[in-house]
Amino acid sequence: MPLLSLVVSPRTAVESRALRVAMSAPSLFRRLVAGRPVMIDGQTLAPDLQVMLRLQALARPRDEEVPIATMRSNMVRETAIVGGVQPIGEVRDLVVDGRPARHYLPSARVSSPGPLLVYFHGGGWIEGGLDTHDATCRVLAERSGVPVLALTYRLAPEHPFPAAHDDAEAGFRWVVDHAAELGADPQRIGVGGDSAGGNLAAWVALVAARDGVPLAWQLLLYPCTDLERDTQSLRLFGEGFYLTTTFMDRATDAYVPRPEDRRNPPVSLVHAEIPGGLAPAYVVTAGFDPLRDEGETYARMLADAGVTVELQRHTDLIHGFVNIVGVGSSSRAAVDGVADRLRAALA
C-alpha cells in the first residue's frame, strides 16, 4: 500500500502547525512564553521543549486519573500533533502472529534480502500502538534506509504480565521464521523500542541470545529496566517533564499488579542473567527523564558482562522525545542521529 503521508484531522494539523511555529520562534519569544532556562543536575533543558511543555500545561493539562481508554485516545492525538506528517516510500499493514503490524519501506533501500528493524512502541504497557509511533517509524526508516516493522502487543490492565512479553517474543520469532517474505536477511535483523517498548526489545534480545536465535543489534531508547526504581533521576524529573511518577505507578499497577512479580527479569532487566552472544546494544537516554538512570544502569550492566554497548545521553531532552519529530528541532535532530546509527549498524 503506497502511502507517502498519513492523513490527519484538520484540527490536529492546525495544532501541530501552531506548536511548530511557537517552538521555532525567536529566543526572546520563547523566553517570554517559557520563562528562564531550566537547569537541573548540570543539564539545561532544550528551549524548544521548554516552550512545548509550558504551552501544553497551559492549554491542556494532563489528567492521569482519567480512564485508561481516554489516556489511549489522548496519546494518539498528542503524538499526531508532535509527530507531524512524515514522508515514507511505502507502508504495508500486516498481521504478524495474529496481531496488527506495520511495515515501513524507505524510498531508497538496499536490494532484498536486506536489513530490518523490528520495533516495539512505548506507553507503559497500557497505551500506545501503531498510530502513536507512526511518525517515529517513518523517520527511522526513511532516513536510515532500513525497513522498520512495527509490532503490537496486548495491553494492560486487560492483559497483565506477562502478556506483552509473550507477544513480543512470539512476534519476533514469527519475523525470523518469515524473514524471506519480509525481504529480510535473518542475519541482519535488529530489534528496538522506546520506554516499555525498549524493555520488550531488550528482553527479546536476551531470549534470542539464550535460545541461539540470530539477532544483529538492539536499539534501546530510554528503556524501562527496573520497576523497583529508586534513582536520582526519578526524584529530580518525576514531575513536570512529561513522564510522571503518577503515570509510572499506574502503569506498573496495571501491568504487574502482584508486587512479588516486579523483580521478575522480563520487567526488571537489571535482575536478568546476561547470556553469551548477546547482540550489540545502542542505549539512548534523555537527561530530563525519570528513567534516565535505570537505562544507564542497564547499559553498564551489559558492558560489565562483555556485551558491546554504546551509550548516548541527550542531556537536554525529555522522555518521549522520539515521538517529537514534527515540531521543534532538538528532538528531531536526536532521532535523525538514531536513524544514522541504525543505518551504520544494519545497512
List, run by run, the mean pLDDT of 10-residue segments along the chain (347 residues).
Answer: 54 84 81 87 96 84 84 95 95 98 91 93 98 98 97 98 98 98 97 98 98 98 96 97 96 97 98 98 98 98 98 98 97 98 95
Q: What is the pTM of this model?
A: 0.94
Residue 65 cell numbers, joined: 486519573
Choose among 165, 198, 212: nearest CA to 298: 198
Convert 203-248 into a string of H (helix), E (strand) and C (coil).
Answer: HHHHHHHHHCCCCCEEEEECCCCCCCCCCHHHHHHCCCCCCCHHHH
The catalytic position among 144, 165, 185, 195 is: 195
**What are the sequence ranges of the domains in the chain?**
10-346
CA 83/CA 133 separation, integer angstroms: 8
pLDDT of residue 327: 95
CA dihedral sign, ordered 285, 290, 291, 296: positive
The catalytic position among 185, 316, 319, 331 is: 319
The catalytic position among 194, 289, 293, 316 is: 289
Q: Are 165 and 148 in contact (CB under 8 A)?
A: no
pLDDT of residue 270: 98
Q: Are 275 and 206 in contact (CB under 8 A)?
A: yes
pLDDT tens column, 12-63: 888 888 888 888 878 777 778 878 999 999 999 999 999 999 888 877 667 7
CA 277/CA 175 separation, integer angstroms: 20
Q: Is 253 a catalytic residue?
A: no
pLDDT of residue 2: 37
pLDDT tens column, 130-168: 999 999 999 999 999 999 999 999 999 999 999 999 999
Q: Are 226 and 268 in contact (CB under 8 A)?
A: yes
Q: Is 289 a catalytic residue?
A: yes
pLDDT of residue 6: 56
CA 272/CA 210 separation, integer angstroms: 12
pLDDT of residue 110: 67
pLDDT of residue 272: 98
φ/ψ (deg, to 5) at 149 = -115, 110
Q: State the number of CA atoms in the 13 A half-sphere of 168 facing the CB.
A: 30
Q: Does domain 10-346 have CATH number 3.30.70.1060?
A: no
pLDDT of residue 130: 98
Q: State the number of CA atoms in the 13 A half-sphere of 342 facing the CB.
A: 31
In angstroms, the Cα distances linking 304 to 147, 282, 285, 307, 309 are 31, 15, 19, 7, 10
Q: State the number of CA atoms in the 13 A half-sphere of 69 facing the CB.
A: 1
Q: Is 121 a catalytic residue?
A: no
